[in-house]
Chains A and B, each alone.
Chain A
Amino acid sequence: MTKADASGAAAGTLTGGPRRRRVRAAVPLPLLLPGAVALVFLLLPLVALLVRAPWSSLPSLLTSTEVWQALQLSLVCATAATAVSLVLGVPLAWLLARTEFPGRGFVRALVTLPLVLPPVVGGVALLLALGRNGVVGQWLDAWFGITLPFTTAGVVVAESFVAMPFLVISVEGTLRAADPRYEEAATTLGASRFTAFRRVTLPLIAPGIAAGSVLAWARALGEFGATITFAGNFPGRTQTMPLAVYLALQNDPDAAIALSLVLLTVSIAVLAALRDRWMTAS
């Protein structure tokens, strides 16, 4: 009856082979219809992006200095933010997974807060904390002459703030699933707890760390709200891809589409990289 139904049946005969006669229980309409609408709703914008893409002028658009600058800045900042998240986030994940301290549940809730916090609010909060007159920022300015807002470093700070929770949650989950007795075995062999972590636990949870890093990197690459609030929108300095897309949409829609295609490609690549982790349920 619907298009989805028809294609589903077609797929069934294609993959099922001639001898496999599946008795299909009737799919209830109240589930099928909204489900199909949801699928179309999710896919349609992406299809539109591909349909309207200025394919012929794409190479020249993507090689313009402005786009190139934004792309470069985005890659550098997202990678730096991932590095910051790794250096600080993996130890935090270990503390949450392997130690007992009062209020641990509360701390974990706080860590996940940036996941659900509107990024703009995050940006405002960062300004109040690390801005020139911020709670900590004023001292950074006065003592070390460090100003973070509206600098490239500020972009990294904003992206780290948003991306680190993804890494922490992912790594903590992997740590919880890993057998802590390997660490015990290491300590009976004379390894300190840190050595056990470095030489045994870290290699064992490497896949989880890799997945968390990819996730954090993708999140940092697409970060918009916190970045524009905390770091502003200066081409070449703080204007990352999402910001450039937003700006380009006002005066050069084709450039915006081209930039969006780049980000879409990156997203698909991330999905492909993580397919073993999250796509196996199907």
Chain B
Amino acid sequence: MTNSHPTAADGPQPPHEPPAPADPAQPPHEPPAAADGAQPPQGPPAPDTDSRTGGAGGNPNPAEGRVPTTHPHPTTHGLHTHLVVTRPTFHLDITLTAAPGEVVALLGPNGAGKTTALRALAGLTPLTAGHLRLDGTELDRTPPESRPVGVVFQDYLLFPHLTALDNVAFGPRCHGATKAEARTQAAAWLDRMGLAEHAGVKPRRLSGGQAQRVALARALATRPRLLLLDEPLAALDARTRLDVRSQLRRHLAEFEAVAVLVTHDPLDAMVLADRLIVIEHGKVVQEGTPADIARRPRTDYIAHLVGLNLYRGRAEGHMVKLDTGPAITTTEDLAGDVFVAFPPSAVTLFRDRPTGASARNLWRCEVSGLETHGDQIRADLTGELPLAADLTTVAAAELDLHPGAPVWATVKATQTHAYPA
């Protein structure tokens, strides 16, 4: 919780509110205990005043001018939730915490429950059990319209009958701003997103990247304490995706509250998020920084995503005996249940049993599939040890690889990486 700053009081403490910028976007009917009331007051969205640019920094914003007062539970800042949603065919049960300023990605295959988790956070799907606390306020039973939560939907769901400006102004309007105020705020948000000249355009005239930014502006315009993004880049073609991803990264870095994004694309998750939570079958299977998860995957799904061969076994010193039979020699000296991972590029293939090589990490396999992978060929092997191997096109031709061909595969111990399971 390096990002947690003691400025946002978690209880209703109106006496300590600074007199300065009254936020017209505040809902007048908001219950006093709601998290919005504890939000650092901010002026209209001027790009340079209300956010700490530069991303990872979690310094308290001096503009907030809030004197730290009563903090019975300083750890309640940010998001603390245990989401349980039970359906006849599906069960989601995940615990999720995030500090203000942190970007968390829920990564997982289709049907893992990522979107259900997001809908539960937004209040669109009711929780079967568990709890949801945001900046110290219980939100389990709060209807979606009263939650300080902003959502960027997968296909954006921009209201087709409203201009980009009125789409962004919709939230402030619902929070009690007058039409003129709401439009002024919306114009500032669009300006910040570099869309000032598209303010009067209906959504269908916007490009994918522009629509994505309007959707982000619309979600941010309500000044949420929790920003949810559902597959924010999935609707874009590969070319715009690169651009939009870096822009989104910048905007998320400027966002001062919790952001949770859902994606099945590991690259999006690793570029955009500070921390990844990998979900499979409605459960958290791994959690950590992108680098950590890329280096030490714990399930086949993640290993496949980050392009590693992954095995589970029991280590005795430098030898890991796999559950499936064969053994792998590693450089790490470990004991007990471990994972062993190595990249496909570390594998060397031979047509005949290599005579000079040591017998360590040598397995007899059979080619089950071949596919081009950039300028490389990725060979899927079955046999003693199922693995993926990368080799050059020339090498593949020399080896005369074809499905069904017998090969010998070796991996140097120094190329493997073992870590406790």
Measured between alpha carbons, how far is A179 from B219 in the docked complex, in Å? 19
Contact B171 A190 (CB under 8 A): yes
CB neighbors of B among A173-231 (8 A): 179, 181-182, 184-193, 195, 199-200, 203-204
Q: Determine whether the beta carbon of A189 is less than 8 Å from that of B161.
A: no
Please give the distance in Å from B152's CB to the nearest CB on chain A. 10
Q: How far is the CA of A86 from the CA of B151 in the complex (A)?
A: 33
Q: How far is the CB of A208 from chain B (nearest CB, A)?
A: 14
- Interface: B329 (CB within 8 A): no
Q: Which residue of B lies closest to A204 (CB)?
A: B161
Report B-chain residues with C-beta under 8 Å of the C-beta of A200: 159
Which residues of chain B in 71-127 are interfacial with respect to chain A, using CB atoms and an 8 Å cutoff?
A: 122-124
A189-B153 in contact (CB<8A): no
Contact A195 B174 (CB under 8 A): yes
Tell whether, in the assembled complex, residue B174 and residue A184 are in contact, meaning their CB atoms are under 8 Å apart. no
Q: B153 — which chain A residues lie within 8 A by C-beta?
A: 181, 185
Chain A CB within 8 A of B281 CB:
no
**17 A-B interface contacts by CB (under 8 A):** A179-B157, A181-B153, A186-B174, A188-B124, A188-B145, A188-B149, A188-B151, A188-B219, A189-B174, A189-B219, A189-B222, A190-B171, A191-B145, A191-B170, A192-B174, A195-B174, A200-B159
Partner of A190, one of B122, B145, B157: B145
Contact A187–B144 (Cβ < 8 Å):
yes
Min CB gap B119→A, angstroms? 8
Known A184-B124, A184-B144: A189·B157 in contact at CB below 8 Å: no
Instruction: Kindly state the separation between the CA atoms of A121 and B153 in the bound complex, as whole angstroms.
Output: 51
Q: Decide: B144 and A188 in contact? CB cutoff 8 A.
A: yes
A64, chain B: closest CB distance, angstroms: 46
Number of interface residues of A (CB under 8 A): 18
**CA–CA, A186 and B153, complex, Å:** 11
* B contact residues around A190 at 8 Å (CB): 27, 145-146, 171, 174-175, 222
By a CB distance below 8 angstroms, the chain A residues around B122 are 188
Task: Kindly provide the distance from the CB of A180 to the nearest chain B CB, expressed in whole angstroms.
Answer: 10
Chain A residues with Cβ under 8 A from B288's Cβ?
none
Smallest CB gap from B174: residue in A: A190
Residues of B within 8 A of A188 (CB): 122-124, 144-145, 147, 149-151, 219
Whether A187 and B145, one on each chain, are in contact in the complex, defined by CB atoms closer than 8 angstroms, is yes
Question: Is B143 in contact with A181, judged by CB distance below 8 angstroms?
Answer: no
Q: Are B149 and A186 in contact (CB under 8 A)?
A: no
Q: For the complex, give the distance between the alpha carbons of A189 and B172 in Å.
A: 8
- Interface pair A185/B174, CB less than 8 Å apart: no
Asked whether A186 lies within 8 Å of B170 as measured between CB atoms, the reply is yes
- Report the Cα distance A279→B149, complex, angstroms: 45
Q: How far is the CB of A23 from chain B (nearest CB, A)?
A: 41
Do residues B124 and A189 form an inter-chain contact, with CB atoms below 8 A?
no
A191: chain B residues within 8 A (beta carbon): 145, 170, 174
Residues of B276-316 at the interface with A, using a CB-CB cut-off of 8 Å, are: none
- Inter-chain CA distance A101–B363, complex, in Å, is 64
Minimum Cβ distance to chain B for residue A181 (Å): 6
Q: B218 an interface residue at 8 Å Cβ cutoff? A: yes
Decide yes or no: A199 and B143 within 8 Å by CB, A188-B151, A190-B222 being known contacts: no
What is the minimal beta-carbon distance from A134 to any residue of chain B, in angstroms? Answer: 42
Q: Look across to chain B and name the residue whose beta carbon is closest to the beta carbon of A192.
A: B145
By Cβ-Cβ distance, the 6 closest A-B pairs, closest first, are A190-B174, A189-B171, A185-B157, A203-B161, A188-B151, A187-B144
Q: Give which listed residue, A182, A184, A195, contacts B159 with CB less than 8 A.
A: A182
Contacts of B171 in A (CB 8 A): 189-190
Residues from chain A with Cβ under 8 Å of B149 in the complex: 188
Bits for B156-174, please: 1 = Cβ < 8 Å to A, else 0: 0101110000000011001
Q: Assuming A182-B157, A189-B170, A192-B145, what are 11 further A-B pairs, CB within 8 angstroms?
A: A184-B144, A186-B159, A188-B124, A188-B144, A188-B145, A188-B151, A188-B219, A189-B171, A191-B174, A193-B145, A204-B160
Interface centre among A187, A195, A199 (most CB of B within 10 A): A187
Task: Tell me the bound Cα distance from A181 to B159 in angstroms.
Answer: 10
Q: Which residues of B contact A179 (CB under 8 A)?
A: 157
Residues of chain A lying within 8 A (CB to CB) of residue B146: 190
Q: Chain B 133-148 against A: per-residue CB contact (8 Å), 1 yes, 0 no?
A: 0000000000111110
Task: Return chain A residues, CB-CB under 8 Å to B145.
Answer: 187-193
What separation, in Å, do the CA atoms of A195 and B144 have in the docked complex? 13
Roughly how many angstroms separate A204 CA and B162 CA in the complex, as a whole number?
A: 10
Closest B residue by C-beta to A191: B174
Q: Nearest chain-B residue to A188 (Cβ)?
A: B151
**Could you say which of A189, A195, A199 has the most chain B C-beta atoms within 10 Å of its C-beta?**
A189
CA distance A254 to B171 in the complex (A): 62
Q: How far does the alpha carbon of A190 sit from the alpha carbon of B171 in the complex, in Å?
A: 6
Q: How far is the CA of A193 from the CA of B145 in the complex (A)?
A: 8
